[in-house]
Amino acid sequence: MIEVHLRNVDIDGGVTLHWHGYDVPCGEDGAPGTTQDTVVPGGEFTYRFRADQAGTYWYHTHHASHVGVRRGLYGPLVVTERDAEEGLDLTLPVHTIDATVLLADNDVPIEQPAPAGVPVRLRLINTDSDPHRIALVGMAFRVAAVDGRNLNEPGEVSAVAVRLPAGGRADLVFTMPSDSVALVLDDHRAGLRLSGVRIGADEAPVADPAGWPELDLLHYGVAAPAPFDPDQPDRRITMVLDRGVALVDGLPAYAHTVDGYGHPSIPDQIVGAGEVVRFTVVNRSLETHPWHLHGHPVLVLSRNEALSTGSPLWVDTFDVRGGETWDVAFHATNPGVWMNHCHNLPHAHQGMMLRLRYEGVTTPFDNAHHGH
Ligand SMILES: [Cu+2]
């Protein structure tokens, strides 16, 4: 059982904590105006939930998050198995502030010694609103987990880049070779270098990942049956993402819209407890929208009608690029009122946020979610 005491000392606009990707009970979800009131300066809130999902997660403020997260109100949440493998296990949040890309709070490349033969796990977390491109130079690797959830039989890959959507995580694993390995962010040399302990092994690997293709996670790993039949959903919901004039927080704006509306005018989505729900997300805009449903992982079914053929891919954020259509499904087993929004946080602030509500569940809070 995790208990976290949040105390707001001096965040004038207020703050909450959202456990991104963690399927906490709704009252612990940290959505201001929906699951709690914003914690104002001098105020406190206590979160409690069970750490029953091992994996790489993170947390961040959900109040005025387009400002607060960028300025640092976030942190990693890593839950390990009790019998976790010994080895080098690094948690590496990627964060941009004032055009400087930080890797685990470092603005210069990190030198990390690692003896040959040791198992290595690199837990990448994208805390930004735009995607990052991750490349590992000098070693084949496996993507063991995406968004905290293990992939089924992920194969070894090399000379490919991994795309990390806003809010997304990827665990890269490999066995340390005798030479150095470099983690390259966004095709620059900035990143992490794992050096061999041997003197003279600290030369950076020379391959240039800029031209490497992106690993397509819809065709990676080995297929396995889903715990429900996504082709027989109890409910189908389509969301059309676009750009246009709409009311946002009651004022006309050039908004990021869902079905032509902006927050909080987008109608609530209603689901029933126990249902299998299928989402079709159509992006008619030119921009990428990293879609994020709170409280439930979604199973990716297809992108542009091409079926996912690899490992079951359970994510909490999926990157719907301009012109794309994604089909995903989830099992409605966590009753509550949940935010459902774009995780490009300025987009959410400009309207692209709504609520998914279980039948019969209401909230005593005011749905203000001001400043988000
Ligand atoms: Cu967006």
- Give yes or no for a contact between 315 and 329, defined as CB atoms under 8 angstroms apart: no
DSSP SS3 for 112: strand
CA 128 / ligand 1 centre spacing (Å) = 12
CA 113 / ligand 1 centre spacing (Å) = 39
Q: What is the pLDDT of residue 203?
A: 57
CA 167 / ligand 1 centre spacing (Å) = 12
DSSP SS3 for 209: helix
Instruction: For residue 353, list its beta bridge partners.
Output: 341
Q: What is the pLDDT of residue 335?
A: 97
- Give yes or no for a contact between 180 and 110, defined as CB atoms under 8 angstroms apart: no
| Domains contained in the chain, CATH given | 1-82 (2.60.40.420), 85-215 (2.60.40.420), 235-358 (2.60.40.420)
CA 349 / ligand 1 centre spacing (Å) = 10
CA 187 / ligand 1 centre spacing (Å) = 23
Cis-peptide into 264, omega within 30 deg: yes
Percent of the chain with pLDDT over 70: 94
* Beta-carbon count within 10 A of 40 CB: 13
Structure letter (DSSP) for residue 66: H
Structure letter (DSSP) for residue 26: G
Distances (CA, A) of 85 to 80, 88, 279: 9, 9, 37
CA distance 65 to 16: 9
Q: What is the pLDDT of residue 85?
A: 80
Q: Rg of the chain over CA atoms, in angstroms?
A: 21
Structure letter (DSSP) for residue 107: S
Q: What is the pLDDT of residue 197?
A: 39
* Beta-carbon count within 10 A of 111 CB: 11
Residues of the chain with pLDDT under 50: 196-201, 370-372
CA 97 / ligand 1 centre spacing (Å) = 19
CA 226 / ligand 1 centre spacing (Å) = 28
Q: Of the candidates 13, 123, 2, which has an alpha carbon nearest to the alpha carbon of residue 61?
A: 13
Q: Say what the pTM is.
A: 0.93
